[in-house]
Structure 1
Amino acid sequence: MKTLNLFTLVVVTLTASVSLQACRHSDRTNAIPAADTIPVALMALQHSSSTAAFEATGTFTTNDETLLSFKSGGVIERMYVREGDLVRPGQLLARVHMDEVDARASQARLAVEKAQRDYDRAHQLYRDSVSTLEQLQNAQTALRMAQQDVKSIQFNRQYSEIRSTSSGYVLARLAQEGQVVGPGTPVFQINGANEGNWELKVGMSDRQWAATQVGDTASVQADALGDGKLKAVVRRKAEGLDPSTGTFSVFLGLLEKPKHKLAAGMFATAKLQSRARNNSSWHIPYAALLDGDGKEGYVFVTNDNRIAKRVKVTLGPINADQVTVLSGLEDAKGLIVSGSPYLVDGASIRVVKQN
């Protein structure tokens, strides 16, 4: 009887021990936390179809700024205008000493007279069968060459003076009286400001240049214009980089006459509206962008509403509350617009709001 009771006690004790161990194992299993999920707000991604708008800065100029020079060169005898002076078409601006030019003209006329005498003599001798036909032809050629020299000198004499080609202002006087200048050396720089040929030359990045087309509209604002704005249109685009500025030049023609007086080199800002529609871009909230540097940045997206994925995107224009993404979201279905600062690549998410 005592043996049976002892056996029963041992069995009960073993059973209680196994049950306690099972309970402790169950408690450890339940104590392991499930993976944390981060609540986020989601926005569906759709391609935008809109025109590009951006700003560019530049300076006023005219489309007929000209560098004037002497064709033959020489010693400048007289200069009749200074910087800032108003000029009219055909107005005499400067001239060189004419002594040397006149001497060349006299030499050319004397050469023609001699060639004419030689030709007359050769013609008479040929008629008398004393000279050959070749000698007559050579004399005739020499006469024609001397006559052409006279025409050349007369033409060059006309360009021993500098005359204005348009109605405008002298922008720069690049030489002084008594200075020796060579053929083609710039002496004056003038423009046609009084003929209404004002335009704005702006510098653009390669991306802006590619998005701009001839005919795109713009509004121009400058301190000299006060609160007013001028309507403009893209007239032409430079097809090469300007090495002095590192930008691509675009020229905007003014569509209305300025009420205020403009001057060459005056600074202005243009807001351009491109006619080219961009069908491969997305407009996203600024708050969704992470680590942006003006050209590239990062955002979090999801395709299954469960896992967040960090992707690199290429940026377009950035506004106060909106960013244009040019590429990087082609394979994404949803953009995480709230909760991004707490996410890492591959994190589990829980969508609490979806737009």
Structure 2
Amino acid sequence: MKTKVQSLYLLIPALLIISSCGNNDQKKAGAGAADQPQAYPVVAVTAQSTDLEIDYPATLEGIQNVDIRPKVDGFIERIYVDEGATVKKGQLLFSINAPQYEQLVRTANAAISSAEADVNGAQLQVNKTKPLVEKDIISKYDLDAAQLTLQSRKAALAQARAELANARVNLSYTRIESPVDGVIGSIPYKTGSLVSATSVQPLTTVSNISRVYAYFSMNEKQLLDFSRNYKGANLAAQLKNIPAVSLVLSDGTAYAENGKIESINGLINTNTGSASMRATFKNPSLLLRSGASASVRVPQPVENAVLIPQKSTIDLQGKKFVYVVDAKGTVKNTEIEIMELTKGNFYVVTKGLKAGDKIVLEGFQSLKDGAQIKPEEKPADSVYAELQSK
């Protein structure tokens, strides 16, 4: 019995030694796993030529906005169109009841008849006097007087005809026709309303919106950058080199037709510090209307632009940082400078990175400056394509 107890006491230390050795091996294995660098996706930045886009608030106007005003006083007798209707040049819009102009036409016609009778009478007097003068029965003075009377009567006839023409013109003003092709605006006056040439509001406005002007402004700095981006000896040459611009409607959708910048104001407004610009867009479907708001999207070409994904940056105290990975897999928290304009989901880096540098793509929230990582490089083309599709 004593021998068994002694054997048991000898066995326990041996088991403790074996157990201790096993625990040490597990700790070493765990420490070795902790020392292994963690894998992070990285991408090599590239330099490429691209177009940035900047939106400018704009106001739309038709190429013609014509106020329709009466030229004579009277009551609106009839309205031939409705608000929003499409009209053609020469189409009748309104008729005005103004009987005084009809009376003037009748009076002018009567005056012409009277003047024609006077001319005929004076002509007869000349015809009667002329042979008597030739026979020396009466003096030549009588013939001269008769001819002067005839001349006076002809002048009176010409004046009467002119008055008739004026009366007819005034009468024609009672029928108001559209001066251009376009779309009818609001009609503030209704049938029976008294209108005149001095009325504050026009009868309506006809807008020719077959083409639409988009007016927008650039501040002085933007205008200088804009002018430097396009070659040309003068403004006209630069305008030809400006690429097509697009239009973003008020609901955020893009308009189907591209436009062209055709005019840049030569003066900078001293009150606003900006210059007005005008882009023209075709409007075959008449979707665009005068007075509407939109944004003109202007492309800005950038050569050798270094683009990085926005998700790969860190914001710290108003500055941008990225984790740059060196050849040994060591990361460095690097400050960068970017342009105000963005390219979709990308920033354009102006300082701090160069083509070929590798940055941590994402998942770096717990990463520290100087840490070792296991880079898993992603093809730049696939990364850019994936982000552009979002």
What's the TM-score, normalizing by structure 1?
A: 0.54
Distance 1:209 1:94 in 2: 46
Distance 1:322 1:231 in 2: 25
- 1:327-338 aligned at under 5 Å gives the runs none
Which residue matches 1:56? Answer: 56
- For residue 137 of structure 1, the aligned residue among 151, 167, 176 is 151
Q: Kindly tell me: are residues 251 and 122 of structure 1, through their superposed partners in 2, closer, same or farther at Cα, counting changes over 3 Å?
A: same
Which residue matches 2:122? Answer: 122
Contact 1:90 1:165 in 2 (8 A): yes
- 1:240-251 aligned at under 5 Å gives the runs 248-251=275-278
Alpha-carbon offset, residue 97 of structure 1: 0.5
- Determine if the alignment matches structure 1 residue 157 to structure 2 residue 171: yes
Contact 2:211 2:283 in 1 (8 A): no
The CA deviation string for residues 231-289 of structure 1, in whole angstroms up to 9 with x for no partner, is 2102334567899999654321115756x9333222111133589x9xxxxxxxxxxxx
Alpha-carbon offset, residue 111 of structure 1: 1.2
Instruction: Give SS of 2:83's match.
Output: coil
Which residue matches 2:206? Answer: 190
Which residue matches 1:199? Answer: 213
- Determine if the alignment matches structure 1 residue 253 to structure 2 residue 280: yes
Alpha-carbon offset, residue 125 of structure 1: 2.0
Alpha-carbon offset, residue 170 of structure 1: 1.4
Which residue matches 2:290? Answer: 264
Distance 2:270 2:122 in 1: 62
Alpha-carbon offset, residue 103 of structure 1: 0.5
Distance 2:77 2:189 in 1: 11
Alpha-carbon offset, residue 197 of structure 1: 1.8
Alpha-carbon offset, residue 198 of structure 1: 2.5
- For residue 235 of structure 1, the aligned residue among 248, 262, 266 is 262
Instruction: Give SS of 2:297's match.
Output: strand
Distance 2:108 2:190 in 1: 30
What's the TM-score, normalizing by structure 2?
A: 0.49
Contact 2:249 2:294 in 1 (8 A): yes
Give the gaps of 5 or more residues in structure 1.
Answer: 1-50, 278-316, 325-334, 336-355
Contact 1:221 1:230 in 2 (8 A): no
Coordinate RMSD, CA, aligned = 4.1
The structure that has the greater radius of gyration is 2
Percentage of matched positions with identical amino acids: 19
Distance 2:175 2:64 in 1: 20
The structure whose residues are more often helix, as a share, is 2
Distance 2:222 2:153 in 1: 67
- Determine if the alignment matches structure 1 residue 65 to structure 2 residue 65: yes
Alpha-carbon offset, residue 172 of structure 1: 2.2
Q: Which amino acid aligns with 1:80?
A: Y
Distance 1:146 1:252 in 2: 52
Which residue matches 2:160? Answer: 146
Distance 1:274 1:143 in 2: 71
